[in-house]
Amino acid sequence: MTTTTLLIVEDEPTIALSFQHILKGSVDYNYQITSVTTAEAALKTWETMGSFDVVLLDIFLPGESGLEFLKTIRSIDGNAVVVCISGSQDYKVVHDVFKLGADDFISKLELSNHYVLEKAIFAGLAKRQYQREKARLEIAQQRLDAITTIIRTVHHELNNPMAIIKLATSQISSSGEFTEEEFRHYLNQVEENIERMSDVMRRLPYFHEEVLNTQLRGLKLFALPDDPSPKKNR
């Protein structure tokens, strides 16, 4: 059974007790319930105990309103499931509740059906679980995109020198006769491009930022970063 922390902010003791009675009978969640009667006490509890998984929030409270508390909570915590409860079904109240980031709104008239409260909490928790999974998958996709970018960049950076080395070695092996100057020319090409490839490998560990190569029009390639390590004298 999943343990879920829950804060009840309700100034009517009988209603708060009815919430606790309903939730303690849950077969899906083990609710650790804290109950307060004012928004001020709720905020103090939040500060001392830390965030809660679920908040059952009465809109009309003595002192600071539930809407003010909701606004405060949403400014510091976007993960808590907040179910607002009110005896009023005024459209403006409902509109303001959702505008400030509540997950659901329940009229106190609906609470005669115990399943309404549980359903609202279950839906909110399922929504949070979906959001966490979506965020995890998005991070995984970003990592995969980064790996793909590195592969494409390294392929681009190594492809040209490899082609030149292949051409130079082909010339050396296929030519029947060539002068010493020609031989040195091909050998220099091989050495220079081996060094180019080595330079790519030296810079590869520092590939942590995507630097767009703006010199290539219509082709999205990313340049390897400069190698911050000291270069050997050549």
Residue of 13, 20, 19 whose CA lies nearest to 38? 13
The pLDDT confidence band at residue 176, using thresholds 50, 70 and 90, is: low
Residues 96 and 156 in one domain: no
Q: pTM to 2 decimals?
A: 0.64
Instruction: Give the C-alpha separation, 189 to 83, whole Å.
Output: 71
Residues 21 and 104 in one domain: yes
Asked whether residue 197 carries a pLDDT value surpassing 50, the answer given is: yes
Task: Kindly report the CATH number assigned to the domain that includes residue 95.
Answer: 3.40.50.2300
- The answer to the question of residue 12 being in a domain is yes
Q: Which amino acid, 39?
A: A
User: Strand, helix or coil at 30?
Assistant: strand
Do the beta carbons of residue 8 and residue 20 sit within 8 Å?
yes
> Which pLDDT does position 220 carry in this prediction?
45
Q: Please state the domain count of the chain.
A: 2
Can you tell me the mean pLDDT for 204-211? Answer: 61
Helix (H) or strand (E) run with residue 8 in it: strand 2-9
Higher pLDDT, 210 or 78: 78
The pLDDT confidence band at residue 227, using thresholds 50, 70 and 90, is: low
Range of the domain at 25: 2-112
Asked whether residue 23 carries a pLDDT value surpassing 80, the answer given is: yes
